[in-house]
Amino acid sequence: MEIFLQLLLNGILLGGTLAIISIGLTLIFGIVRVVNFAHGEFLMIGMYAVYLMNQHFGVHPYVAIIPAVALLFMLGAGMQRFIIQPLLAAEGHIQIFATVGVSIALMNAALMVFGADVMTVNNPSGLGTGSVGIGPLRASTGQLLTFAVSLALVGGLHWFLHNTFLGRAVRATAQHRNAALLMGVNVNRIYIFAFGLGCACLGLASGMIAPQYPVFPTFGTFFVLTAFVIVVLGGLGSLSGALIGSILIGVVDSLAGYYIAPDLKEVVYFMIFLAILIFRPTGLFGAGRGSE
Amino acid sequence: MKIMPWAINGVAALTLSASLTAYADVQIGALYPLSGGLALLGDESYRGLEIAVAERNAAGGLKGEPIKLVKADAVDAAQAVSAARRLTSSENVAAVFGSYSSALSFAATQVTELAGIPFFELGAVADNITERGLQNVYRSNPTARDFAQGTITAITKLVAPQLKVNPTSLKIAIIHEDALYGTTIAAFQKELALKEGLQVVEVLPYSAKAVDLSSLILRLKGAGADVVLQTSYQNDTTLFFRQIREAGFAPKAVIGAGGGYSMQDTVKVVGAENIEGVLDVDFPQFQTNEAGAPGIAAFAEAYRARYGSEPRSGHSLINYVGAKVFLDAMAEAKSLDAEDVREAVKAIDIPIGRTAANIGAKFGDNGQNERAQTTIMQWQQGVLKTVYPPAAAVAQATLASQP
Specify if A285 maps to a domain.
Answer: no
Render pLDDT for B98-124 as a digit per residue (tens, 0 to 9).
999 999 999 999 999 999 999 999 999
Give the CATH number for residue A31. 1.10.3470
Q: Is B215 on the interface with A (CB under 8 A)?
A: yes
Residues B18-44 have a mean pLDDT of 79
Distance CA B387, CA A71 (A): 48
Query: What span, in angstroms and rounded, lies between the C-alpha atoms of B339 and B266?
Result: 45
pLDDT digits (tens, 9 = 90+) for B307-318: 998 888 899 999
- The contacts of residue B257 (CB under 8 Å, 6+ apart) are B147, B148, B150, B151, B185, B189, B229, B230, B231, B280, B281, B282
Phi, psi dihedral angles at B289 (to 5 degrees): -75, 130
- Residue A158's pLDDT is what? 94
Residue A105 pLDDT > 90: yes
With both helix axes pointing from N to C terminus, report the angle between A39-57 and A92-114 in degrees, rounded to the nearest 10: 30
Q: Cβ of B209 under 8 Å from any chain A Cβ?
A: yes
Contact A237, A283 (CB under 8 A): no
Query: Could you list the residue range(s) of the whole structural domain that residue A272 is in?
Result: 2-117+141-279
Residue in B178, B212, B236 to test binding to A, most A beta-carbons within 10 Å: B212
Instruction: Report yes or no on A41 lying in a domain.
Output: yes
Q: Are B268 and A120 a contacting pair at CB < 8 A?
A: yes
**Closest Cα in chain B to A15:** B212
Q: What chain B residue is nearest to A111 in terms of C-alpha separation?
A: B37
CA angle B380, B383, B388 (to 5 degrees): 65
> Across residues B264-271, what is the average pLDDT?
87
Residue A287 binned pLDDT confidence (cut-offs 50, 70, 90): low
Tally of domains in chain A = 1
| Chain B residues near residue A119 by CB distance under 8 angstroms | 265, 268-269
Identify whether A51 is part of a domain: yes
The angle subtended at Cα B61 by Cα B56 and Cα B67, nearest 5°, is 95
Is residue B130 within 8 Å of residue B120, measured between CB atoms?
no
pLDDT per residue as tens digits for the range A198-210: 999 999 999 999 9
Q: How far apart are CA B138 and CA A89, in angstroms?
A: 60
- Is the CB of A212 less than 8 angstroms away from the CB of B242? yes
Q: What is the pLDDT of residue A276?
A: 86
Q: How far is A261 from chain B (nearest CA, A)?
A: 7
Tell me the angle at which helices A239-259 and A219-234 cross, rounded to the nearest 10 degrees.
110
In a domain, A168, yes or no: yes
Q: Smallest Cβ distance to B265: which of A117, A253, A257?
A: A117
Could B246 and A221 be called an inter-chain contact, meaning their C-beta atoms sit closer than 8 Å? no
The single-letter code of the amino acid at B66 is P
Q: Helix or strand or coil: residue A75?
A: helix
Name which of B40, B205, B248 is nearest A263 (Cβ-Cβ): B205
User: Between A187-209 and A165-175, two packed helices, what is the crossing angle to 10 degrees?
Assistant: 110
With contact defined as beta carbons under 8 Å apart, do B355 and B361 qualify? Answer: yes
Q: How far is CA B132 from CA B136, B367, B368, in A?
A: 11, 10, 11
> Looking at residue A127, what is its pLDDT?
85
Q: What is the pTM of this model?
A: 0.86
Are the C-beta atoms of B30 and B121 separated by less than 8 Å? no
φ/ψ bin of B118: left (φ > 0), alpha (ψ from -120 to 50), beta (otherwise): beta
Domain assignment present for A125: no
ipTM for the predicted complex comes to 0.88
Query: B250: distance to nearest CA of chain A, Å?
Result: 14
Nearest-CA distance A21 → chain B (Å) = 13
**Chain A residues touching residue B205 (CB < 8 angstroms):** 261-263
Q: Is B371 helix (H, G, I), strand (E, B) or coil?
A: coil
The predicted structure's pLDDT at residue A236: 83
User: Is the pLDDT higher at B127 or at B258?
Assistant: B127
Percent of chain A with pLDDT over 90: 63
Q: Is residue B49 within 8 Å of B67, Cβ to Cβ? A: no
> What does DSSP assign to residue B313?
S
Average pLDDT over residues A208-225: 92
* Mean pLDDT, range A40-56, rounded to an integer: 96
Q: Which of A12, A118, A226 to mutate to test the interface with B (most CBs of B within 10 A)?
A: A118
Q: Mean of the pLDDT values across residues B172-181?
A: 92
Flag if B218 and A214 touch (Cβ within 8 Å): no
Give contacts of A261 with chain B, Cβ < 8 Å: 204-205
Whether A262 and B235 lie within 8 Å, measured CB to CB:
no
Residue A124 predicted with pLDDT over 90: no
> Are B215 and A116 within 8 A, CB to CB?
no
Residue A292 pLDDT > 80, yes or no?
no
- The reported pLDDT for the residue numbered B18 is 44
Task: Please name the residue of chain A whose CA is at the shortest distance from the CA of residue B177.
Answer: A263
Rounded Cα–Cα distance for residues B200 and B189 (Å): 10
Is the predicted pLDDT of residue A134 greater than 90, yes or no? Answer: no
- Mutate: best of A47, A117, A247, partner B, most B CBs <10 A: A117
With beta carbons less than 8 A apart as the criterion, state whether A235 and A284 touch. yes
Chain B residue with CA closest to A212: the answer is B242
What is the chain A residue with the closest CA to B269?
A120
CA distances from B398 to B158, B161, B166 (A): 8, 10, 17
Can you tell me the distance from the alpha carbon of B151 to that of B279, in angstroms, rounded to the nearest whole number?
9
What pLDDT does B4 receive? 53
- The C-alpha of B205 sits at a distance from chain A's nearest C-alpha, in angstroms, of 6
Q: Is B250 on the interface with A (CB under 8 A)?
A: no
Distance CA A279, CA A291 (A): 16
Residue A142 to residue A210: CA distance in whole angstroms: 9
CB B390 within 8 A of CB B288: no
Residue B33 pLDDT > 60, yes or no? yes
DSSP B22-89: HTSPEEEEEEE--SSTTHHHHHHHHHHHHHHHHHHHHTT-BTTB-EEEEEEE-SSHHHHHHHHHIIII
Cβ atoms within 10 Å, residue B325: 24
Contact A263 B269 (CB under 8 A): no
Give the model's pLDDT for residue B19: 43
Residues B27-37 have a mean pLDDT of 90
Closest to B95 (Cα-Cα) out of B125, B63, B127, B70: B70
Taking the CA atoms of chain B, what radius of gyration do you get in angstroms? 24
Terminal Cα-to-Cα distance of chain A (whole angstroms): 44
Rounded Cα–Cα distance for residues B228 and A174 (Å): 51
Would the CB atoms of A262 and B239 count as touching at under 8 Å?
Answer: no
Each residue of B357-396: pLDDT tens digit? 999 999 999 999 999 999 999 999 999 999 989 999 999 9
What would the mean pLDDT of B325-340 be, rounded to a whole number? Answer: 95
Burial of A92: CB neighbours in 10 Å, binned 0-12, 13-18, 19+: exposed
In this prediction, residues B262-290 reach a mean pLDDT of: 91
| pLDDT band at B403; cut points 50, 70, 90 | very low
Residue A215 lies in a domain: yes
pLDDT at B1: 46
- Cα→Cα distances B213→A9, A43, A253, B35, B237, Å: 14, 21, 10, 32, 10
Asked if the C-beta of B308 comes within 8 angstroms of chain A's C-beta atoms, the answer is no
| Binding-site residues on chain A for chain B (CB distance < 8 A) | 3, 6-7, 10, 14, 17, 116-120, 129-131, 138, 140, 212-214, 216, 221-223, 226, 253-258, 261-263, 265-266
Q: At what angle do helices A219-234 and A265-279 cross, to 10 degrees?
A: 40
Nearest to B106 by CA among B150, B140, B74: B74
**What mean pLDDT is reported for chain B?**
90
Q: What are phi and psi of B84, to 5 degrees?
A: -65, -35
Confidence class for position B20, pLDDT limits 50, 70, 90: very low
At residue B267, what are phi and psi to the nearest 5 degrees?
-65, -35
- The count of C-alpha atoms lying within 13 angstroms of the C-alpha of A132, restricted to the half-sphere facing its C-beta, is 10
Rounded Cα gap, residues A112 and B63, in angstroms: 44
Average pLDDT over residues B206-216: 92
Residue A123: which pLDDT band, with cuts at 50, 70 and 90?
confident
Whole-number Å distance between alpha carbons of B273 and B245: 12
C-beta separation of A44 from A106 below 8 A: yes
Residues A64-73 have a mean pLDDT of 96
Is residue B59 less than 8 Å (CB to CB) from chain A? no
Identify whether the C-beta of residue A31 lies closer than 8 Å to the C-beta of residue A170.
Answer: yes
Rounded to whole angstroms, the Cα distance separating B174 from B297 reads: 35
Residue B143 confidence class, pLDDT cut points 50, 70, 90: very high
Q: What is the rounded average pLDDT of the residues A60-64?
A: 95
Contact (CB, 8 A) for B26 and B94: yes
pLDDT confidence of B6, banded at 50, 70, 90?
low
SS3 A32: coil
In a domain, A124, yes or no: no
- Read off the pLDDT of each residue in A7-16 and give the average, rounded to a whole number: 95
CB contact under 8 A, B209 and A222: yes
Does A37 map to a domain?
Answer: yes
Interval B219-245: pLDDT, tens: 999 999 999 999 998 889 999 999 999
Searching chain A, which residue's CA lies closest to the CA of residue B35? A112
Query: For residue A159, which amino acid is it?
Result: W
Q: What is the pLDDT of residue B239?
A: 93
Q: How confident is the model at residue A115 (pLDDT cuts 50, 70, 90)?
A: confident
- Measured between CA atoms, the residue of chain A closest to residue B175 is A262
pLDDT in tens, B293-303: 999 999 999 99
Three-state secondary structure along B110-158?
A: HHHHHHCCCEEECCCCCHHHHCCCCCCEEECCCCHHHHHHHHHHHHHHH
A46 C-beta neighbours (distance < 10 Å), count: 31
Q: Would you call B239 and A213 a contact, using CB atoms and an 8 Å cutoff? A: yes
Q: What is the pLDDT of residue B351?
A: 95
Chain B residues within an 8 Å CB radius of A254: 212, 214-215
pLDDT over 80 (residue A286): no
Task: Determine, for residues A263 and B239 on separate chains, whether the beta-carbon distance falls below 8 Å.
Answer: no
Taking one residue from A and the other from B, the number of pairs with CB-CB distance under 8 angstroms is 90
Instruction: Identify the CA nearest to B370 among candidates B112, B98, B149.
Output: B149
| A254 min Cα distance to partner chain B (Å) | 6
> Are B280 and B377 spatial neighbours (Cβ–Cβ below 8 Å)?
yes
Q: For A147-151, A232-236, B371-375, which range has the lowest pLDDT when averaged over its residues?
A: A232-236
Give the pLDDT score at A131: 87
